[in-house]
Amino acid sequence: MNAPVPTVFTVFAPHFDAELGIARFGYALGDLHFEERLAFPPGWNAENAHTEAFGRILNLTALVLGVSYFKLLAPFTISAPTIGLTPSERAFILDIYENGLGEFYARNGLKRFGQIALETPDAAAAPVPAPKLAARTLLPIGGGKDSLVSVQLLESAEIPFTPFAVNPKGPILTSIEKIGLPPLYVTRTLDPEMIRLSGTPGFYNGHVPSTAINSMIASLVALLYSYDRIILSNERSASEGNVVFDGREANHQHSKSLDFERLIAGVLSDATGGGLGYFSLLRPFSEARIAAIFARETRFDRVFSSCNRNFRLSGHDGPLWCGNCPKCHFVFLILAPAMEKPRLLGIFGRNLLDDADKEAAYRELTGLAGQKPWECVGEILEAAACLYRLSEQAEWADDVIVSRLKGDLLTHYGRPALERAYEELMADSPDHLVPSSLASRMGLDAA
Ligand SMILES: CC(=O)N[C@H]1[C@@H](OP(=O)(O)OP(=O)(O)OC[C@H]2O[C@@H](n3ccc(=O)[nH]c3=O)[C@H](O)[C@@H]2O)O[C@H](CO)[C@@H](O)[C@@H]1O[C@H](C)C(=O)N[C@@H](C)C(=O)N[C@@H](CCC(=O)O)C(=O)O
Ligand SMILES: Nc1ncnc2c1ncn2[C@@H]1O[C@H](COP(=O)(O)OP(=O)(O)OP(=O)(O)O)[C@@H](O)[C@H]1O
């Protein structure tokens, strides 16, 4: 693409229509104007929409949702003339536009770190009155194994929750049907002009921090329908990045990382006078450990999918698992040591580890070639340790990928490192923000 014309990205004051339950977010990029909309389901508390806390969260949401429009030209200045920010809110928004878009910059060769000016008025860091929120849990559901493991854990601890999703489709809908609890759904409508322009000559395209976006929408829901905590299902493996670019680690999953969780939890708490909690229940766990917990139950086997092809805005009419993307390859690999082989083959409809065409893909996942794929996959050493473990199991050892990679894994990492890594994957990390009362009910090490 030719060098874009430098310009300013403007974020206008958002508006929530408390009669219709619709929030509108306006943006400008030079002469281009965009509007994104959120439609909330019936039952919102109009009184809560008039609280200072709701106004603060709505403003922050406007800035976070702005990434989709900003990325068309990625200018150096973001201006929000009507949105006052405290110092910690400013740091949070800059983190979204710098690290949340890290993959986008790295893949487009754009250097923006430390160079983005965020022009907004200052807001006093004075305490915000806490809105009245019921002691209830909102649980975002992504249709994959992670949020369903949170379902399993909350159910075992007898903690009630409400499933929540933005633009639910495919595996999200079928998983929530299996959960059997009434959900809350928000309809998000991106400006179609932004989607049309994305990647056309003169405009960039790329990844946006979707968990940050869904989390802000969840926060609005928490205030409107009275929930005092949002429980995410982000694993500890999500904190590992993909490549170093422009002096920083770019992480496809930045908004699922522990650093991001700390930032957003602090900002949401401050903006609601301490009223709203936010943490990930799965932070102590590796992906491999999550797979082992998932495997304890068969209830979601035919309805869940971690394959992101299901979640494209335009829909998807292919199989639940495409079998050809890094996420399918990775999830197959980590479920393999955790469940009976026929069960796993039933879920995926084929054996991805006995397909010679996938050798290059598994070499990338396990660190034997290339770089960690730009997808929601676990740590490189995690994938290597799981593949090595399979090579020690009779039912997997002769499968083509397992037998071909075993020797290279041993040469590259050494047996003791691979064995130790698998043990560590199964141990809980104390590095999490799960409140101590819940952590002790779940038998986790204290934060
Ligand atoms: C479903 C998916 O993986 N989409 C990624 C894909 O986009 P694609 O063009 O194949 O399909 P659409 O998602 O329908 O997007 C159409 C265009 O719209 C833009 N767009 C979409 C959503 C949005 O919120 N803002 C947007 O501007 C998009 O850029 C397209 O031009 O490739 C894109 C480019 O790399 C990705 O940005 C799409 O990712 C979605 C935003 C998405 O929701 N992805 C999640 C499944 C995802 O990747 N989650 C991460 C967590 C990342 C995090 O930090 O939170 C994960 O699971 O690892
Ligand atoms: N459409 C959505 N609406 C609300 N929350 C979502 C949505 N998609 C993902 N999430 C939430 O975002 C977080 C990250 O999603 P992620 O895709 O990693 O989880 P998952 O779908 O549960 O599992 P998997 O990693 O197996 O796909 C999770 O807490 C998930 O519940």
> What ipTM was predicted for this assembly?
0.97
Q: Which positions ≥6 away from 289 have C-beta within 8 Å?
A: 425, 426, 428
| Banded model confidence at residue 5, pLDDT cuts 50, 70, 90 | low
Separation of CA 311 and ligand 1 centre (Å): 8
Q: Which bound ligand lies closest to the C-alpha atom of 108?
A: 1
| pLDDT score recorded for residue 7 | 87
Among 172, 187, 210, 211, which is best to mutate for testing ligand 2, by the most ligand atoms less than 8 A from CB? 211
- Token pair 């030079």 in the structure block, residue: 30
Among 96, 313, 325, which is best to mutate for testing ligand 1, by the most ligand atoms less than 8 A from CB? 313
Separation of CA 288 and ligand 1 centre (Å): 24
Q: Which two tokens stand for residue 272?
A: 């609601």
| pLDDT score recorded for residue 379 | 87
Bridge partners of residue 39, in order along the sequence:
22, 187
pLDDT average, residue stretch 11-30: 97
| pLDDT score recorded for residue 35 | 98
The mean-pLDDT minimum among 34-38, 61-65, 313-317 falls in: 313-317
Asked whether 232 lines ligand 2 (CB < 6 A), one says yes
| pLDDT score recorded for residue 315 | 78
Q: Terminus-to-terminus CA distance in the chain, angstroms?
A: 47
Q: How many whole angstroms separate alpha carbon 236 and alpha carbon 218?
A: 21
- Of 201 and 441, the structure prediction assigns the larger pLDDT to 201
pLDDT, tens only, 177-204: 999 999 999 999 999 999 999 979 999 9
| pLDDT score recorded for residue 341 | 97
| pLDDT score recorded for residue 288 | 94
| The pLDDT of residue 159 is above 80 | yes
pLDDT, tens only, 37-47: 999 999 999 99
pLDDT, tens only, 211-243: 999 999 999 999 999 999 999 999 998 888 888
Bridge partners of residue 262, in order along the sequence:
none
Closest to 140 (Cα-Cα) out of 123, 130, 154: 154
Three-state DSSP at 407 gives helix
Asked whether 310 lines ligand 1 (CB < 6 A), one says no
Q: Which positions ≥6 away from 105 have C-beta within 8 Å?
A: 74, 111, 112, 113, 245, 246, 250
| pLDDT score recorded for residue 446 | 53
For residue 143, how many other CB atoms are within 10 A of its CB?
Answer: 27
Q: Taking the CA of residue 253 as centre, how many other CA atoms within 13 Å lie in the half-sphere pointing to its CB?
A: 22
- Of 444 and 230, the structure prediction assigns the larger pLDDT to 230
**How much is the pTM?**
0.96
Asked whether 426 lines ligand 1 (CB < 6 A), one says no
| Banded model confidence at residue 1, pLDDT cuts 50, 70, 90 | low
Domain ranges of the chain: 8-280, 316-425
| The pLDDT of residue 26 is above 60 | yes
* Phi (first) and psi of residue 16, to 5 degrees: -110, 125
Minimal-distance CA residue to ligand 2 atom 11: 142
Separation of CA 200 and ligand 1 centre (Å): 17
Query: 185 near 141, Cβ under 8 Å?
Result: no
| pLDDT score recorded for residue 406 | 98
Q: Which two tokens stand for residue 365?
A: 């996942």
Among 145, 147, 207, 210, which is best to mutate for testing ligand 2, by the most ligand atoms less than 8 A from CB? 147
Q: How many whole angstroms separate alpha carbon 346 and alpha carbon 422?
A: 25
pLDDT, tens only, 344-403: 999 999 999 999 999 999 999 999 998 888 878 778 999 999 999 999 999 999 999 999
Query: 306 near 144, Cβ under 8 Å?
Result: yes
Among 162, 231, 233, which is best to mutate for testing ligand 2, by the most ligand atoms less than 8 A from CB? 233
Q: Which bound ligand lies closest to the C-alpha atom of 330?
A: 2
* Phi (first) and psi of residue 165, to 5 degrees: -150, 150
pLDDT average, residue stretch 305-333: 91
Would strands 184-189 and 32-39 be described as parallel, antiparallel, or unpaired?
antiparallel
Q: How many whole angstroms separate alpha carbon 154 and alpha carbon 22?
A: 31
pLDDT average, residue stretch 125-143: 95
Closest to 231 (Cα-Cα) out of 245, 213, 219: 219
> What region does 214 belong to: left with phi over 0, alpha with psi -120 to 50, or beta?
alpha
Q: Which positions ≥6 away from 167 have C-beta within 8 Å?
A: 185, 186, 187, 188, 313
Asked whether 214 lines ligand 2 (CB < 6 A), one says yes
Q: In this structure, is the dihedral angle defined by the CA atoms of residues 283, 287, 289 and 295, taken in order, positive or negative? A: positive
Which atom in ligand 2 lies closest to the alpha carbon of residue 147?
Answer: 22
| pLDDT score recorded for residue 238 | 81
| Banded model confidence at residue 259, pLDDT cuts 50, 70, 90 | very high
Asked whether 314 lines ligand 1 (CB < 6 A), one says yes
